[in-house]
A and B are shown apart, each in its own frame.
Chain A
Amino acid sequence: MSAREAILSRLTGKTPAEVIRAEAAALLLAPERPAVDPAQVEAVFAERLAVPSVAASYERVADWTALPETVRRYFAEQGIPPVLCLPPDPRLRALDWSGFTLHDSAAPDELAVLAVARLGVAETGSLVFETSPEAPMLPNFLALHHLVVVPEVVAQLEEAALPGAQPRAHYWVTGVSGTTDIEGTYVRGAHGPRFLHVIRLAG
Chain B
Amino acid sequence: MSAHEPQAAFKTRAAAALHDPILKIAVERTAGTAEAKRAVAVEAFPDFEAARTRAAAIKDHVVANLGHYLEQFEANAVAAGAVVHWARTSQEACDIVIGLCRQAGAKSVARSKSMLGEEIGLPHALAEAGIARVETDLAEHIIQLSGERPSHIIWPAMHKTREQVSELFRRSHRDPHAEETIAAMAESARRHLREGMLSADVGISGANFLVADSGAVCTVTNEGNAELSLVPPRLQIVTAGIEKIVPSMGHAVHLLRLLARSATGAALTQYTTFYTGPKRESDRDGPEEMHIVLVDNGRTAMREEGLAEMLRCIRCGACMNHCVVFRQIGGHAYGGTYPGPMGAVLTPAIDGLAKTRDLPNACTLNGKCQEVCPVNIPLPTLLRGWREKSWREGLEPKATRAGIDLWAWFAQRPKLYRAATATALKSLRAMGRGGWLRKVPMAGGWTRYRDLPKPAAESFMAQYRKGRRR
Contact = CB atoms under 8 A, between A and B. Distances in A.
Interface stretch (B100-108, B134-142, B394-402, B442-450): B134-142
Interface string A45-63: 0001001010000000000
Interface string A154-193: 0001100100001111111111111111111101011111
A32 B92 CA distance: 40
B397 to A, nearest CB: 35
A87 to B, nearest CB: 8
B222 A178 contact: yes
Contacts of A193: 224
Contact of A190 (B70, B224, B242, B283): B224
Interface in B238-289: 242, 247-251, 253-254, 256-257, 264-280, 282-286
Given A17-B68, A182-B157, A132 B283 contact: yes
A31 B155 contact: no
A125 B283 CA distance: 27
Q: Which of B65, B223, B224 has most chain A Cβ within 10 Å? A: B224
B350 interface: no
B273 A171 contact: yes
A48 B266 CA distance: 11
B382 interface: no
Contacts, number: 264
Q: How large is the interface on A (under 10, 10 to 19, 20 to 34, 35 or more residues)?
A: 35 or more
Given A28-B254, A161-B249, A177 B222 contact: yes
B16 to A, nearest CB: 22
A181 B272 contact: no
A169 B50 contact: no
Contacts of A32: 45-48, 50-51, 54
Contacts of B249: 161
Contact of A172 (B34, B139, B266, B271): B271
A90 interface: no
B254 A180 contact: no
A88 to B, nearest CB: 8
Contact of A191 (B33, B47, B142, B228): B228
B274 to A, nearest CB: 5
B283 to A, nearest CB: 6
B264 A180 contact: yes
B182 A182 contact: yes
Contacts of A181: 137-139, 142, 155-157, 186, 223
A7 B86 CA distance: 8
Given A33-B46, A181-B155, A172 B216 contact: no
Contact of A27 (B26, B54, B138, B256): B54
A32 B53 CA distance: 10
B165 interface: yes
Given A174-B268, A191-B224, A157 B257 contact: yes
B223 A177 contact: yes
Interface stretch (A66-74, A75-83, A133-141): A133-141
Nearest to B278: A168
Contacts of B276: 166-170
B231 A8 contact: no
Nearest to B155: A181
B88 A24 contact: no
Given A24-B248, A179-B222, A191-B190, A172 B155 contact: no
B183 to A, nearest CB: 5
Interface stretch (B4-12, B56-64, B385-393, B409-417): B56-64
A179 B30 CA distance: 12
Contacts of B269: 174
B283 A168 contact: yes
Nearest to A185: B182
B174 interface: no
Nearest to A9: B67
B205 interface: no
A171 B11 CA distance: 45
A136 to B, nearest CB: 4
B182 A190 contact: no
Interface in A4-54: 4, 6-8, 10-13, 15, 17, 20, 23-24, 27-28, 31-35, 48, 51, 53
B30 A180 contact: yes
User: Which of A6, A172, A184 has the most chain B CB atoms closer than 10 A to its own CB?
Assistant: A184
Given A13-B67, A182-B157, A190-B189, 7 more contacts: A3-B88, A33-B257, A123-B267, A174-B268, A177-B271, A184-B29, A184-B30
21 contacts: A3-B92, A11-B303, A15-B68, A34-B46, A53-B266, A53-B267, A125-B267, A131-B285, A137-B227, A138-B228, A157-B253, A171-B274, A172-B271, A177-B270, A178-B222, A178-B270, A181-B156, A183-B29, A190-B189, A190-B224, A191-B197
Which 4 A-B pairs have CB atoms at the shortest separation, nearest pair first? A12-B67, A11-B67, A136-B284, A184-B30
